[in-house]
Amino acid sequence: MIVTATPNPAVDLTLSVRDLDRGGSQSVPPAQRRLGGKAVNVARVAAQQGIDVTAVLLGSVPDDLRAAGIPGVELVVVRTRTGIRSTYAIAEPETGAVTMLNETGAPRLPREWESFVDAVARARDTASCLVVSGSLPPDADLAHVRALVGGARAAGVPVIADLVGDALWAAAAAGADVVKPNRAELQRTVGYDDPEAGARALQHSGAGMVIVSLGEEGLIVVPPAGAPVHAALDRALRGNPTGAGDAAVASVAARIDRGEPLDATAVATAAVAWSAAAVLSPVAGTLDDRLPDLVARVRVR
């Protein structure tokens, strides 16, 4: 069983709008509405691939979405004084443009954070690994990130963190076993562009394996000791890249859950194939069933 921790979950709303009238008023069909946040997407993908998942969320989820749940995922909701944020995707089918507007969310009270850290600790007691992903609510005290990551490490549970900026530094310093920034997030965090040098800086501060995802150019896996491995698909795919990074994270969690070693080449191959299968799937949080063919199309160097 894996545990995913979502510090800043969201209600993801998707509106499909023909002839968007900017500044005007128009009627639209009902928005699609579902539970989101990066770690929630990781949970969806892992559960779809047959892994037992417990997803712990900090924030009161609307009752209907909580009741609907996520197939194969046990939801643990840590209630908060105010509800969770929304994200808005406005899709224009004529042009294919998708405009994303993401609320930052509300700050959480110290006792709400403490309940979240406790709930994650209880869930990960029996877990193979912990995934901590996504943004933090505004004004978050990084001590909570250190408690999530350091607590799991102290209990012998490996941690994968997909965080950015100070939160990524905090996770690295607390000894996260795997971190997965994309290129822009790594640049924003370390302040320079070279992925390998950035990865080594995170390792210097305490991180284990660093996976830098490079969009359609694949990814670089920098193991704690040994040479980096670059892997990519034989050619880029057309599709929906939203959540591809979350699928890569899910592939690493799946390896740990199956007791497979974190060999850089094997990690890179699976991460490229799973994320490519996410690109081919129109719905974020699911993998296309051509996953086995995609594994054969991964090129490693």
Ligand X SMILES: Nc1ncnc2c1ncn2[C@@H]1O[C@H](COP(=O)(O)OP(=O)(O)OP(=O)(O)O)[C@@H](O)[C@H]1O
Q: Quick one: which segment of 54-62, 66-74, 199-207, 208-216 binds ligand X (CB under 6 A)? A: 208-216
Q: Contact at 8 Å (CB) between 57 and 9?
A: yes
Dump strand ranges (E) for 53-170. 53-60, 73-83, 85-92, 97-102, 129-133, 159-162
Q: From the CB of 281, what's the least distance to ligand X, in Å?
A: 12
Q: Quick one: which segment of 94-102, 104-112, 151-159, 214-222 binds ligand X (CB under 6 A)? A: 214-222
**Residue ranges in 173-202 that form contacts with ligand X under rule CB under 6 A:** 182
Q: Which is nearer to ligand X, 44 or 153 (CB)?
A: 44
Q: From the CB of 138, what's the least distance to ligand X, in Å?
A: 20
Give how many residues touch ligand X by CB under 6 A: 21
In the set 12, 112, 177, 246, which binds ligand X (CB under 6 A)?
Answer: 246
| 206, amino acid identity | G
In the set 195, 198, 208, 243, which binds ligand X (CB under 6 A)?
Answer: 243
Partner in contact with 275, chosen from ligand X, Mg ion, none, beta carbon below 5 to 8 Å by kind: ligand X
Residue 272 in the binding site for ligand X (CB under 6 A): yes
d(CA 1, CA 180): 21
Q: Contact at 8 Å (CB) between 19 and 112?
A: no
Q: Go through the chain and tell me how many residues it has.
A: 301
- Local structure of 182: helix, strand or coil: strand
d(CA 159, CA 208): 10
Q: Contact at 8 Å (CB) between 256 and 129?
A: yes
Query: E strand or H helix at 65, and its extent?
Result: helix 63-68
Per-residue binding string, ligand X, 125-164, x by CB under 6 A, is ----------------------------------------
> Contact residues for ligand X (CB under 6 A)?
182, 213-216, 218-219, 233, 236-237, 241-246, 248, 272, 275-276, 279
